[in-house]
Amino acid sequence: MGKGRCFASGVEDFRTFLLGGKTMRKFMVAALASFFLMFGMAWAQKPQAERITNGPVAKDVQGTTAEIAWSTDAQGSSIVKYGTSPNSLNQTAEAPWGGTKEQNGDYNHTVWLKNLKPNTNYYYEVETTQGAGTGTQTESQPKEFHTAAK
């Protein structure tokens, strides 16, 4: 019987420790509230918008093709909208999602524009996003290049 009383008194002491003291209750409530607040904030946090860290630039411009390149601080889509008027970028070219990761942590994006008209001014802007509707989209200001004569 002595052992039973010892166990029972130990449980009773634990209950008193856990539930009886106002200080302990306040501590537990504060700890749980902090945990749920931090978890809730992390869960509800939106993804960061991407940034263009370099470019865009028109490279290797020929009579009927041009390479458009830029870098971002995160992986994402590689989309170029272009046309012969800065107010009407009505054509689109894309490359596979991702980008090539560089040693500095940036991701390089390259899109080739094809079937261009020789000796023509073109305007373009680039767009990168991690997913439609995620709020991570970034796009450049319109830029210009001129294709070579045939």
Specify whether 79 is located in the same domain as 136: yes
| pLDDT score for 51 | 82
Question: Are both 69 and 122 inside the same structural domain?
Answer: yes
Percent of the chain past pLDDT 70, that is, above it, reads 63
Judge if 57 and 33 occupy the same domain: no
* Structural domain that includes position 131: 52-146
Q: What is the pLDDT of residues 73-120, one digit of tens each?
A: 888 889 999 999 999 999 999 988 777 888 888 889 999 999 999 999
d(CA 94, CA 96): 7
The structural domain count of the chain equals 2
Same domain, 132 and 65: yes
Q: Is residue 107 within 8 Å of 81, Cβ to Cβ?
A: no
**Residue range 122-138, pLDDT digits in tens:** 999 999 887 555 567 78
Report the distance separating Cα 146 and Cα 38, nearest Å: 53
Work out whether the CA dihedral 22, 28, 31, 35 comes out positive or negative. negative
